[in-house]
Amino acid sequence: MQSGPSSWRPWTAPAALFAGVVLAAVGGLIVDIPAALFFGVKIDASKLPSGLEIADTAIQDLAFVAAAVIFAQLGGRTVAAWQLGLRPTRRWRAVGAVVGTVLIFLVFTEIWSSAVEVSTKEKLLEQLGANESTLLLLASAALTCIVAPICEEVLFRGYFFAALSNWHGWFLAAVLTGLVFGGVHAGSAPIVDLVPLAFLGFALCLLYRFTGSLYPCIATHAVNNSIAFGALEGWDAGQTVLLMFAALATIAALGLLLRRAGVIGDPPPAGALASSAVAAGT
């Protein structure tokens, strides 16, 4: 049975998020326990070794995608990548929307930072061991700027926002998605940073609705994370821009590879797409 976002029940939005967290926890144990038992890795409840932290975070991101796909298929439905937002959009309109979203978020973040007058630093890069070795730095950059933007957007915008839009409309869904998006970063970001992250989550929902595609959201997410990564590492503008373009190029290459492998395909004709896409007015 073919279906789309318009048929996803609102209650499945928080259920999918919960399932993603559970899958991430189970997946983390599957990695951590053998590492401790067979490889002598010392695991502290308060801080995992950097390599395991990277592995567990990657598993969490993949668990988010798995949860979105599982819940999209409930009731014997079939789901295609385009139904989760991986569908084309008008290129230059999307580029303008991405640039506008990034600028608006940077302005909001600057205003918020000035208002709270608190200098903060995210815990995530320290947990991932980005400063311990070049290999961990590269792995942290790939996880933060490539893997996380793709996987988080599939769950939060591709499924969570789309399903929740079937409750009381897209605007409330965008607000709630933003709040949840900020909240799930509580373990890796200071409390005062959760407000800008919630705003980013809300803005990404608007971007998804405006463009009808998840690609601009993934690009915006990757650009933001690249800027944040460069700032936290103390990089200059050139290094940060290089990271940004490397991340976007890698994401584009992955998309092309998945398309050639048949994982991502073209959506049906415009009439069928309009009945399924959250951006079509659900």
Residues 69-110 have pLDDT tens digits of 999 999 778 899 999 999 999 999 999 999 999 999 999 999
Structural domain span for residue 45: 5-280
**pLDDT on residue 93:** 94
Residue 212 DSSP code: S
CA–CA distance, 137 with 131 (Å, rounded to integer)? 6
Which tokens belong to 151?
């996987």
Residues 104-113 have pLDDT tens digits of 999 999 999 8
Residues facing residue 2 across a β-bridge: 78
- For the chain, what is the domain count? 1
Collect the ranges in the chain with pLDDT lower than 50.
272-282
**pLDDT on residue 49:** 80
Helices (H), the chain: 12-38, 50-72, 91-116, 124-128, 134-142, 148-153, 162-168, 170-183, 194-211, 215-233, 237-260, 270-276
Contact 5, 165 (CB under 8 A): yes
**pLDDT on residue 180:** 98
**pLDDT on residue 233:** 87
**pLDDT on residue 163:** 97
67 exposure class (CB count in 10 Å sphere: 0-12, 13-18, 19+): buried
**pLDDT on residue 213:** 97
Residue (of 277, 138, 157) closest to 220 by Cα position: 157
Query: In sequence order, what are the residues at sequence separation of 6 or more whose Cβ sits closer than 8 angstroms to the Cβ of residue 210?
Result: 97, 279
Contact 200, 224 (CB under 8 A): yes
**pLDDT on residue 274:** 46
CA–CA distance, 265 with 88 (Å, rounded to integer)? 10
Contact 151, 159 (CB under 8 A): no
What residue has token string 């700032």? 231
